[in-house]
Structure 1
């Protein structure tokens, strides 16, 4: 305790709250209908991602490096939605807004881990498309099962490590005044801004998380498609270009669904009402996991063929 007091300052006592309060949406009429909608979204998310995982697992023709990444994306979507949605519905639909301190940090860890892995999974799929189009003759050598498994495993290790560091930095904060989180879950930024002591390290890790988990993957994906477009411009016929680029449509749709709402939120987030910002952030969290399996079923020929064969 003396160590904490010296770090906090002479006149500040380190306070570890018993709980936080999730404020969520305030003053919105008929908001409970939105939570019923969230319940529907969660059911569709669970069913859709379970179907995609089952199809890939049972169809031996789909056990390729690309579909290892697709399987992991469905797993991450299922994992993230199950970490966020039941607790969110419990908090708001049943008015259980008080969340114990340790539960809040756990809630934060699982939500941020899943959101981060979605980003890196899109990087893995982007790399797969990049090699398949630019180096088609070397694809089988460069993108192997072992390589894809190692890549995804390294992403998991990296994400868990950086999010655990963020959690560790939160535990050094003292909450001697408000414990009300102005968000729909235990949001990192909203949490550290409640602290009474210096939260500069938390600001630094927040910027690092943003750079490493959002901007760096997006930059890689954009650069990969610049290379793909350049390579396709060298292809002789328009039909061949179209056929090659068509294999990227599902991945491009996933990238747009994941990154565009986040970019819009962070671009205009400070200019809109708090309720609108929280509502938009909640939609960016719940829609990609629901839409990803639908896009892959509709846009991917191999999965559609399997579904038709089963029926």
Structure 2
């Protein structure tokens, strides 16, 4: 018997395993984490937007990352926090679809933004004389528009293919709604969905990994092997934090998505990796980039000093 995939359809989410006595502390901790994510990322957005000295390609590309992180956090935390108060955890079918759409848009957008940032650093370090010619305002607009257009088309198509399926189950396996979990609710063939899903993974993660590996190898070659002044520290400062952020997101997302296609994969591992992708990058990215980027750190400290000073 088919379920009606409308707003009246209720989808059940896995229940939390912590004892009832810890429910309130968990609720408070999750709420504070969400508020911290939003405040820190919003501070970076405001800092870059209001300071003309930061209106440069490097920082304008970076501006898109906290926007993407806030989208992912908002897709995940409010629903999770509200469901902590009630058992069983439920969500309407269309709210589940929206959550899946936003979480995948966040994941794909983050990978593409980090890739564009790596390309920007590659041009700045390996071809500094051509930087202003290549990274013009028009080209920057094209890069940013291309990121969001590509991400939107890929993810909307992914979700649209899932919406055409008739569902005959009402329980998803992950802690939040995503496309693989929604697809598993279907009681008809998902061959097209599986092929397109694999294509999306290969495109977003394959292209990102290839570009970042190429650009970082070129940066290391330019900075280290050509023995430029302060080459090693420059290479580490440029690549270190960016590479850590990218690899964490890349590995977690890749393993979590592939685990959906391996029946013997531990359910706990898939859930833990899926949740960590939604929590740690939005939480750590603003800390990494605000402390590691001198100009942003300086303007944030000036802003905080101005707000806390009595004069």
Alignment correspondent of 2:188: 197
Alignment correspondent of 1:186: 177
Alignment correspondent of 1:306: 299
Q: Post-superposition shift, 1:87?
A: 1.6
- Structure 1 residue 133 and structure 2 residue 125: aligned? yes
Alignment correspondent of 1:163: 155
Structure 2 CA distance for partners of 1:174 and 1:140, relative to 1, 3 Å: same
- Paired with 1:93 and 1:256, the residues of 2 have a C-alpha distance of 34
Q: TM-score, with normalisation over the residues of structure 1?
A: 0.87
Structure 2: tracts of 5 or more residues without a match: 306-311
SS of alignment partner, residue 236 of structure 1: coil
Q: TM-score, with normalisation over the residues of structure 2?
A: 0.87
SS of alignment partner, residue 145 of structure 2: helix
SS of alignment partner, residue 98 of structure 1: strand
Aligned length in residues = 299
Structure 2 CA distance for partners of 1:193 and 1:272, relative to 1, 3 Å: closer
Structure 2 CA distance for partners of 1:76 and 1:266, relative to 1, 3 Å: closer
Alignment correspondent of 2:271: 278
Q: Post-superposition shift, 1:14?
A: 8.0
Q: Post-superposition shift, 1:53?
A: 0.7
Preserved contact between residue 13 and residue 175 of structure 2 (Cα < 8 Å): yes
Which residue of the other structure, out of 69, 92, 95, is the alignment partner of 1:77?
69
Query: What do residues 9-54 of structure 1 show as CA deviations (whole Å, max 9, x unaligned)?
Result: xxx8685364242323454546735454332221110010011011
Preserved contact between residue 109 and residue 163 of structure 1 (Cα < 8 Å): yes
Structure 1: tracts of 5 or more residues without a match: 1-11
- Structure 1 residue 19 and structure 2 residue 5: aligned? no
The CA RMSD over aligned residues, in Å, is: 2.4
Alignment correspondent of 2:146: 154
Greater Cα offset, 61-70 or 16-25: 16-25
- Structure 1 residue 105 and structure 2 residue 94: aligned? no
- Paired with 2:187 and 2:233, the residues of 1 have a C-alpha distance of 57
